[in-house]
């Protein structure tokens, strides 16, 4: 029988947890038409010899921040080059819609987004999820995206004056209305970053209302919870209690415990998650495969100062008495994660500060030793000019903790890739090859079929992507060919297909942008 494409001599890892098996795959149009044995009498317009390679479903990045990066900018092939054919955007409560008409509010959102999402060189021409999705498809994307409704834009669009406070009942009602609109347009869920301003200022009443609506429409709640350090167990219990009360499906973002002294909490965290699952809470979590993270340098500052408008914050950073208050709160935090207290200045390094490229890779401690200044003052001086992009890395966890989280059956793969500045965390460009090299080839934390399940069918099921995440007849042909022998060199992704078309091969994107916005459909 004749098909568009035949892939022969592959070792198929189907995404469902089945052990790898030799086989042949036929593609007709956008879908997989046949999965059979090598003796099948089939022919194709194109024949691909996959000898020595694993054939997997396209990888799904459960936690990305490519909301602006995907919009056709140079270098946006970083995800497809990793074999990632679908990315979930709008995470950690930070997104780009709804976009208010008020220019001041639009400016607040774009400045707030810059540290995590980066910038976009054109004026944002969308106003809601639907118009954003249509624009994204028009400019072109290499990979598919699934859009979450982020919490911060809801607050900015709905609240008057400062958003770094509790919302009024009227403002909360407006948030729910805007959330309903995004769901009607196909957003897959609601995300919040309770660690970050302005989401950290939401109270239980606000979260309960937004999650009740999310549960009513069977969408997903993805959350960067309030504390990943000393208070991690109470913080997890807060969001799991909300999920239990409202019935919402919950995805805990980049699960980890921050700080050397908190690594023994990881088994207790996993036990806590299991206990809620046993009570009927539908809970999963994602993880990036690195011991060190990356986020905004501003996030080191205490909540009392993050609630300030930017001009007032910069004035505080210039004031010696206010600096002393910041220092005391960062050394002795109450109810929030102070990375400085948890990790120390040696483990906090500059990734990119606008206008200071010479600082790349330097720890705050080393900069302090070099200048003879206090490390707190070094940090405050970096921020006092108000750089729009100030990103750091921080060593947060241990290898044994990372592996324990990875082994848990409810774990999913995510990159947590950031796109602000010119220097990127390696998770933005090589997370999949690093995962498969370090945690399969070099140290088999899991067999290959379980790694691939966590990267494909498991996130697809959580997101309601019924026609993706598996190699099976009738599924969309989002596919990845992995060359295991080339993984240690970082070139293990031999070929990537999106909807039956080759999107990455030989280190390039030969056939343009095939990505789509995958909208959630009830029923």
Range of the domain at 271: 59-291+396-425
Whether residues 128 and 156 share a domain: the answer is: yes
Rounded to whole angstroms, what are the CA distances from 221 to 4, 89, 112?
39, 13, 21
β-sheet bridge partners, residue 98: none
Whether residues 172 and 25 share a domain: the answer is: no
Choose from 233-247, 294-308, 423-437 the range with maximum mean pLDDT.
Answer: 233-247
Could you give the angle at the alpha carbon of 63 between the alpha carbons of 188 and 343, nearest 5°? 140
Are 505 and 84 in contact by the 8 Å Cβ rule? The answer is: no
pLDDT tens digits along 448-487: 999 999 999 999 999 999 999 999 999 999 999 999 999 9
Closest by CA to 86, choosing from 141, 131, 130, is 141
Which residues neighbour 455 within 8 Å (Cβ) at sequence distance 6 or greater? 56, 59, 60, 412, 413, 432, 435
Does residue 184 belong to any structural domain of this protein?
A: yes
Whether residues 202 and 342 share a domain: the answer is: no
Whether residues 104 and 148 share a domain: the answer is: yes
Q: For residue 75, what pLDDT band results from cuts at 50, 70 and 90?
A: low
* 84-89 sheet: strands from edge to edge: 59-61, 84-89, 144-147
Whether residues 314 and 184 share a domain: the answer is: no
Are 476 and 430 in contact by the 8 Å Cβ rule? The answer is: no
Question: Domain tally for the chain?
Answer: 3
Whether residues 334 and 418 share a domain: the answer is: no
pLDDT for the residue 395: 87
- CATH code, 170: 3.20.20.140
pLDDT for the residue 73: 62
Determine the Cα–Cα distance for residues 301 and 325; give it in Å rounded to an integer: 10
Neighbours of 232 (CB within 10 A): 24
Does residue 22 belong to any structural domain of this protein?
A: yes
Does residue 441 belong to any structural domain of this protein?
A: no
pLDDT tens digits along 319-330: 999 999 999 999
pLDDT for the residue 420: 74
- CATH code, 476: 2.30.40.10
Are 83 and 58 in contact by the 8 Å Cβ rule? The answer is: yes
Is the predicted pLDDT of residue 74 greater than 60, yes or no? no
pLDDT for the residue 422: 64
Are 145 and 89 in contact by the 8 Å Cβ rule? The answer is: yes
pLDDT for the residue 421: 65
Whether residues 64 and 109 share a domain: the answer is: yes
Does residue 105 belong to any structural domain of this protein?
A: yes
Could you say which of 425, 445, 479 is where a domain stops?
Answer: 425
Determine the Cα–Cα distance for residues 152 and 167; give it in Å rounded to an integer: 12
Does residue 460 belong to any structural domain of this protein?
A: no
Whether residues 73 and 20 share a domain: the answer is: no
Are 391 and 294 in contact by the 8 Å Cβ rule? The answer is: yes
Could you say which of 337, 360, 388 is where a domain stops?
Answer: 388
Could you give the angle at the alpha carbon of 177 between the alpha carbons of 172 and 182, nearest 5°? 125
Residue 282: φ, ψ to 5°: -85, 100
Whether residues 234 and 174 share a domain: the answer is: yes
Q: How far is CA 170 from the centre of its chain?
A: 31
Q: What is the mean pLDDT of the chain?
A: 94
What's the length of the chain? Answer: 523
pLDDT tens digits along 249-282: 999 999 999 998 999 999 999 999 999 999 999 9
Are 455 and 406 in contact by the 8 Å Cβ rule? The answer is: no
Strands 411-413 and 59-61: unpaired
Closest by CA to 358, choosing from 345, 374, 370, 343, is 370
Determine the Cα–Cα distance for residues 496 and 489; give it in Å rounded to an integer: 18
pLDDT tens digits along 490-513: 789 999 999 999 999 988 887 778
Neighbours of 169 (CB within 10 A): 10
Question: Which range among 23-32, 42-51, 106-115 shows the weakest confidence by mean pLDDT?
Answer: 106-115
Does residue 512 belong to any structural domain of this protein?
A: no
Whether residues 64 and 50 share a domain: the answer is: no
Does residue 240 belong to any structural domain of this protein?
A: yes
Is the predicted pLDDT of residue 523 greater than 60, yes or no? no
Whether residues 349 and 489 share a domain: the answer is: no
pLDDT for the residue 489: 75
Whether residues 50 and 68 share a domain: the answer is: no
Determine the Cα–Cα distance for residues 110 and 178; give it in Å rounded to an integer: 19
Q: Stretch 361-379: mean pLDDT, rounded?
A: 95
Does residue 231 belong to any structural domain of this protein?
A: yes
Residue 222: φ, ψ to 5°: -105, 130
Are 376 and 327 in contact by the 8 Å Cβ rule? The answer is: yes
Q: Give the three-state DSSP class for 322.
A: helix
Sequence-ordered strand ranges (E) for 236-380 = 249-252, 283-287, 292-296, 348-353
Q: Stretch 294-308: mean pLDDT, rounded?
A: 91
Determine the Cα–Cα distance for residues 499 and 10; give it in Å rounded to an integer: 19
């Amino acid at each position: 029988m004749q098909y568009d494409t035949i892939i022969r001599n592959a070792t198929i890892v189907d995404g469902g947890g089945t052990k790898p098996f030799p086989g042949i795959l036929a593609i007709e149009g956008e879908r997989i038409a046949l999965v059979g044995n090598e003796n099948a009498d089939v022919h194709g317009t194109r024949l691909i010899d996959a000898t020595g390679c694993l054939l997997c479903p396209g990888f799904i990045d459960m936690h990305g921040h490519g909301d602006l990066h995907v919009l056709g900018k140079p270098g946006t092939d970083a995800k497809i080059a990793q074999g990632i054919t679908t990315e979930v955007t709008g995470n950690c409560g930070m997104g780009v819609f709804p976009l208010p008409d008020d220019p001041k509010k639009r400016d607040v959102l774009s400045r707030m987004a810059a540290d995590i999402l980066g910038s976009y060189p054109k004026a944002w021409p969308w106003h809601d999820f639907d118009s954003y999705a249509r624009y994204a498809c028009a400019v072109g994307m290499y990979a598919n995206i699934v859009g979450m409704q982020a919490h911060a834009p809801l607050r900015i669009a709905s609240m008057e004056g400062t958003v770094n406070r509790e919302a009024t009942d009227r403002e909360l009602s407006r948030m729910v209305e805007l959330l309903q609109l995004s769901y009607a347009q196909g957003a897959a869920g609601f995300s919040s970053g309770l660690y970050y301003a302005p989401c950290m200022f939401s109270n239980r009443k606000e979260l309960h209302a937004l999650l009740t609506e999310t549960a009513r429409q069977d969408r997903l709640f993805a959350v960067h919870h309030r504390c990943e350090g000393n208070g991690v167990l109470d913080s997890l219990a807060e969001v799991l209690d909300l999920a239990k009360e409202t019935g919402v499906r919950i995805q805990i973002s980049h699960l980890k415990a921050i700080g050397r002294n908190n690594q023994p909490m990881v088994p207790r965290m996993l036990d806590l998650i299991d206990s809620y699952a046993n009570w009927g809470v539908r809970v999963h979590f994602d993880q990036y495969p690195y011991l060190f993270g990356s986020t905004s340098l501003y996030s080191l500052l205490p909540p009392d100062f993050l609630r300030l408008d930017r001009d007032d914050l910069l004035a505080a950073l210039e004031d010696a008495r206010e600096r002393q208050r910041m220092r005391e709160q960062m050394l002795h935090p109450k109810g929030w994660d102070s990375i400085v207290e948890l990790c120390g200045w040696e483990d906090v390094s500059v990734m990119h500060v606008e206008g200071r490229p010479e600082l790349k890779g330097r720890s705050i401690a080393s900069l302090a030793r070099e200048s003879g200044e206090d490390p707190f003052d070094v940090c405050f001086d970096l921020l006092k000019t108000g750089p729009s992009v100030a990103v750091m890395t921080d060593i947060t966890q241990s290898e044994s903790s990372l592996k324990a989280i990875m082994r848990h059956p409810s774990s999913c793969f995510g990159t947590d890739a950031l796109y602000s500045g010119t220097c990127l965390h390696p998770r933005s460009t090589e997370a999949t090859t690093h995962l498969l090299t370090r945690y399969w080839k070099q140290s088999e934390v899991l067999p290959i079929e379980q790694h691939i399940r966590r990267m494909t069918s498991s996130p697809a099921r959580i997101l309601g992507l019924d026609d993706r995440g598996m190699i099976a007849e009738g599924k969309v042909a989002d596919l990845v060919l992995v060359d295991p022998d080339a993984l240690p060199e970082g070139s293990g992704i031999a070929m990537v297909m999106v909807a039956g078309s080759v999107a990455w091969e030989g280190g390039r994107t030969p056939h343009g942008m095939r990505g789509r916005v995958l909208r959630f459909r009830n029923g």
